[in-house]
């Protein structure tokens, strides 16, 4: 950001000076000449068409256009006592396709962003292994590695909507999710390097940050598809996503994807850490609480139109766009309703369909300009359908906080404005 301002300001002011001088001359010179009819953006020569723009290296690390400055993560300040243990949200309503740009992936920290020089980072494997080992980052990069696209969703995504519609915008209601391509080493290879003992039934990853985040993960999952990742979308992990190393636990709740990963212990029983007892357990209406609710259920949301992305063009052809994902595997189908769930049409899935990754869906409609109650309903390859919010409440009550994957309703009004509502 600073880079951009510094390198741009002088150029800009010089150019705007030039422009001012030239425009005055031009008007004088062409006075009396016939003006062409039409859009001046077309009929008049624009600055960017005449003058040279910034050269290479003006932006050594590229940043989005200044006209995209509103596309940022946002937080809800009153949610938490301190920003070091807090969350912000992905601007889903501004994005398309299935990949989230690195700088827009939502953040959730419990002790702030740890600032770690990769040369100072170590990964330890200990517990029920033949040889407890220590790896440097360089060691890890000598293991065979894989590239995989996965969504990551915080279990508390949509958690503020249990009692009813609260926040106007899918960034806030659904923005604790992102989807990137990870490069990393299968956890299985690293565990086998240390030699798993036969009574090793659980692993516990631990972070190097000030919260020293810990979670218990069953060995079957650890050996199945978990990755120890150092890249996202081709470049090093962002500091706020765990630089230099994070765990990837495909399809399971985001809290388990321990960032700043420094240790993995193997044990014969779960540890019942704070984040799997006090937090990330789902309190039911009868006072019982579910624990180890790891999988993220099928879910979808229409990202446009949505409260932060109203319809600006009036009736006629338009694209209803949204995302769907399931911790069980691929999304097989997404249905969209325009009338609050009375009638449904199957949307078109477009782009790669990868297991435990975000899927993009579209429904191309001819809007007649009347009110719509938009809903989307995802179904995964195992036949699990996204339930309604009321079905979830009937089964769980309103105090679960986590795992709210209920169907979202947007009320689109004739003027194109959109509101977060609940329907009968």
Partner 1 sequence: MSKFLKALSLGTLIATLPLLAATAHAGDAEKGEKVFKKCTACHAVGEGAKNKVGPELNEVFGRTAGSLEDYKYSKAMIDAGSGGLVWDETTLTTYLTKPKDMVKGTKMAFAGLKKQEDLENVIAYLATFSSAAAPADQQSAAEPAAEETETASADTAVEAPAVPVSETRDGGVFGLGRAATEDEVAAWDIDIRPDGTGLPEGSGTVADGEVLFTENCAVCHGDFGEGVGRWPVLAGGQDTLTEERPEKTIGSYWPYLSTVYDYVRRAMPYGNARSLSDDDVYALTAYLLYLNDLVEDEDFELSKDNFQEIRLPNEENFIADDRAEEPHYAAKAEPCMSDCKDSAVEITMRARILDVTPGSVDDDEASGMGGVD
Q: Give me the residues that bind ligand HEC (CB under 6 A), please.
A: 81-82, 85, 110, 211, 274, 278
Residue 77 interacts with which of ligand HEC, partner 1, none, CB < 5 to 8 Å by class:
partner 1
Given 8, 84, 349, 365, the residue binding partner 1 (CB under 8 A): 84
189 contacts partner 1 (rule: CB under 8 A): yes
State the sign of the Cα–Cα–Cα–Cα dihedral 167, 168, 173, 179.
negative
User: Which range, of 8-16, 31-39, 270-278, 317-325, touches partner 1 by CB under 8 A?
Assistant: 270-278
DSSP string spanning 124-161? EEEESBSS-EEEEHHHHTTS--EEEEEEEE-TTTTGGG
147 vs 277 by CB, closer to ligand HEC: 277
User: Which range, of 37-45, 229-237, 285-293, 362-370, touches partner 1 by CB under 8 A?
Assistant: 285-293
Size, binding site for partner 1 by CB under 8 A:
119
Query: Minimal distance in Å, beta carbon 97 to partner 1?
Result: 26
Given 90, 165, 300, 306, the residue binding partner 1 (CB under 8 A): 165
Give me 116's structure tokens. Answer: 């770690």
* Collapsed DSSP state (helix, strand, coil) of residue 262: strand
Residue 421 interacts with which of ligand HEC, partner 1, none, CB < 5 to 8 Å by class:
partner 1
- Per-residue mark of binding to partner 1, 94-123 (x: CB under 8 A): --------------x-xxx----x-xx---
CA distances from 149 to 229, 233, 374 (A): 12, 9, 28
Q: Report CA 360 to chain centroid distance, whole Å.
A: 13
Name the nearest CA neighbour of 260 among 229, 285, 282, 288.
229
Question: In degrees, to the nearest 5, what angle opens at C-alpha 153 toward C-alphas 148 and 159?
Answer: 175
User: Which range, of 54-62, 218-226, 268-276, 357-365, touches partner 1 by CB under 8 A?
Assistant: 268-276
Tell me phi and psi for residue 3, to 5 degrees: -45, -50
188 vs 279 by CB, closer to ligand HEC: 279
CB 254, CB 270: distance < 8 Å? no
1 contacts partner 1 (rule: CB under 8 A): no
274 vs 333 by CB, closer to ligand HEC: 274
Give bridge partners of residue 108 from the DSSP assignment. Answer: 87
Name the nearest CA neighbour of 283 among 108, 162, 386.
162
110 vs 246 by CB, closer to partner 1: 110
Give me 25's structure tokens. Answer: 């001359």
State the CB neighbour count (10 A cutoff) for residue 278: 9
Given 38, 53, 287, 317, the residue binding partner 1 (CB under 8 A): 287
193 vs 350 by CB, closer to partner 1: 193
CB 190, CB 219: distance < 8 Å? no
State the sign of the Cα–Cα–Cα–Cα dihedral 9, 10, 15, 21.
positive
Distance between CA atoms of 328 and 60, rounded to whole angstroms? Answer: 40
26 contacts partner 1 (rule: CB under 8 A): no
Query: Minimal distance in Å, beta carbon 335 to partner 1?
Result: 7
Given 131, 198, 220, 317, the residue binding partner 1 (CB under 8 A): 131
CA distances from 159 to 151, 174, 359, 381 (A): 18, 9, 22, 25
Strand-pair category, 261-267 with 122-127:
parallel
110 vs 389 by CB, closer to ligand HEC: 110
Positions in 360-399 near partner 1 (CB under 8 A):
373, 377, 379, 383-385, 387-388, 391-392, 395-396, 399
Residue 139 interacts with which of partner 1, ligand HEC, none, CB < 5 to 8 Å by class:
partner 1
Residue 165 interacts with which of partner 1, ligand HEC, none, CB < 5 to 8 Å by class:
partner 1
């Amino acid at each position: 950001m600073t880079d951009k301002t510094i390198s741009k300001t002088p150029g800009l002011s010089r150019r705007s000076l030039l422009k001012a001088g030239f425009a005055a001359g031009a008007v004088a010179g062409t006075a009396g000449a016939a003006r062409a009819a039409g859009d001046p953006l077309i009929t008049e020569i624009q600055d960017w068409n005449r003058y040279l723009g910034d050269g290479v290296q003006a932006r050594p690390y590229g940043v989005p256009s200044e006209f995209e400055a509103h596309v940022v993560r946002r937080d809800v300040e009153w949610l938490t006592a301190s920003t070091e243990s807090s969350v912000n949200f992905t601007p889903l309503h501004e994005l398309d396709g299935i990949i989230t740009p690195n700088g827009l992936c939502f953040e959730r920290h419990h002790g702030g962003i740890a600032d770690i020089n990769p040369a100072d980072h170590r990964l330890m494997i200990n517990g029920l292994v033949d040889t407890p080992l220590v790896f440097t980052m360089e060691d890890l990069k000598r293991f065979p590695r894989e590239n995989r696209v996965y969504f990551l969703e915080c279990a508390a995504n949509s958690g503020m909507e249990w009692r009813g519609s609260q926040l106007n915008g899918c960034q806030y209601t659904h923005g604790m999710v992102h989807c990137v391509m990870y490069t990393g080493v299968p956890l299985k290879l690293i565990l086998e390097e240390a030699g798993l003992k036969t009574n090793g039934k659980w692993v516990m990853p631990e972070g190097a940050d000030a919260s020293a985040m810990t979670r218990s993960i069953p060995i079957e999952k650890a050996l199945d598809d978990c990755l120890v990742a150092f890249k996202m979308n081709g470049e090093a992990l962002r500091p706020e996503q765990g630089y230099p190393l994070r765990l990837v636990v495909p399809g399971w709740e985001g809290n388990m994807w321990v960032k700043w990963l420094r240790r993995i212990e193997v044990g014969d029983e779960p540890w019942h850490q704070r984040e799997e007892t006090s937090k990330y357990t789902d309190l039911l209406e009868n006072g019982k609480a579910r624990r180890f609710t790891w999988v993220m259920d099928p879910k979808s949301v229409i990202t446009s139109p949505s409260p932060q992305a109203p319809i600006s063009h009036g009736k006629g052809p338009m694209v209803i766009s949204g995302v769907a994902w399931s911790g069980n595997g691929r999304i097989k189908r997404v249905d969209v309703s325009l009338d609050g769930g009375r009638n449904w049409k199957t949307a078109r899935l477009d782009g790669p369909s990868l297991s435990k990754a975000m899927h993009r869906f579209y429904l191309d409609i001819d809007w007649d300009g009347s009110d719509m109650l938009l809903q989307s309903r995802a179904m995964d390859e195992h036949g699990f359908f996204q339930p309604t919010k009321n079905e979830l409440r009937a089964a769980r009550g309103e105090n679960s906080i986590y795992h709210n994957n209920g169907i979202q309703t947007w009320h689109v009004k004739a003027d194109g404005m959109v509101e977060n509502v609940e329907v009968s």
